[in-house]
Amino acid sequence: MENPSSDPATTTEPVEMTLEDYAKAILEAHRNCEAADKESKKKGREAVQWAFKCGQYLNALKESKLIPHGEWLPWLKKNCPEIKPRTAQFHMAAAKNVRRTDLEHFTGVRQYHIATGARPPEQIDKAPETVDGDTDPAIEEPETPETILNKMRLAFENCQSQYELLIKMKPEVEKYIHDTSNPLTPPLGMILTVE
């Protein structure tokens, strides 16, 4: 895979390209994009498997009563300093709320945490390094109609992807989502279905 910074399209010097050069460059960039995306999904699925296993170990240890009541967090901080308490909580809750056979549907740990209910969905569009509350959040821009609409769009897109994942994981749930008993509100499936 070629480094995109060496590509003529990203350099500041003028480069003469023919239609054939553009076609080759476009195809190469697309192929590299597809390969990187495929690899990132593979790595994301691998990360989800490890997050699940970590959650299982954390749950087993906590349930074993090897650590006295009230000593769990101090033990975690001393013995597993790389794991933030909030991340441990996410891993533990997610591992309790998912079947191993469903893990293949997740392509990232944050998606896995949110879809299993371990992490609140409102944290979806925050930067990963600020979600756990262990670092200072970036200075927020003042609310404008554009920023509000952008947040709404991101939240809606997240709802759509979660809906699609839910239906993929449990198709039988779809009939309950398409409830038409209230004539004033359209069925959730109609709102979230991407066409």
Instruction: List the chain domain ranges.
Output: 15-124, 146-173+181-195
CA atoms within 13 A on the CB side of 74: 5
Residue type, 88: A
Model pLDDT, residue 134: 44
Give residue-wise pLDDT tens across range 80-100. 999 999 999 999 999 998 877
| Segment 130-147 mean pLDDT | 52
Q: Is residue 132 a contact partner of residue 86, using CB atoms and an 8 Å limit?
A: yes
Model pLDDT, residue 183: 55
Tokens of 149: 């609409």
Give residue-wise pLDDT tens across range 33-85. 989 988 998 899 899 999 999 999 999 999 998 999 889 899 999 999 999 99
Residue 132's pLDDT band, with cuts at 50, 70 and 90, is: very low
Element (H, E) at 35: helix 19-64
- Does pLDDT of 3 surpass 60? no
- Does pLDDT of 176 surpass 70? no
Dist CA 60 CA 64 (whole Å):
6
Tokens of 18: 């023919």
| Segment 155-164 mean pLDDT | 74
Contacts of 107 (CB under 8 A, 6+ apart): 40, 41, 44, 45, 48
> Mean pLDDT across the chain, nearest whole number?
76
Tokens of 94: 């997610």
Dist CA 65 CA 72 (whole Å):
10
Residue with the bigger pLDDT between 34 and 138: it is 34
- Other CB atoms within 10 Å distance of the CB of residue 125: 14
Q: Is residue 174 a contact partner of residue 189, using CB atoms and an 8 Å limit?
A: yes
Model pLDDT, residue 47: 92
Q: Which residue has the tokens 């749950």?
A: 59
Dist CA 132 CA 23 (whole Å):
44
Q: Is residue 104 a contact partner of residue 126, using CB atoms and an 8 Å limit?
A: no
Dist CA 58 CA 93 (whole Å):
10
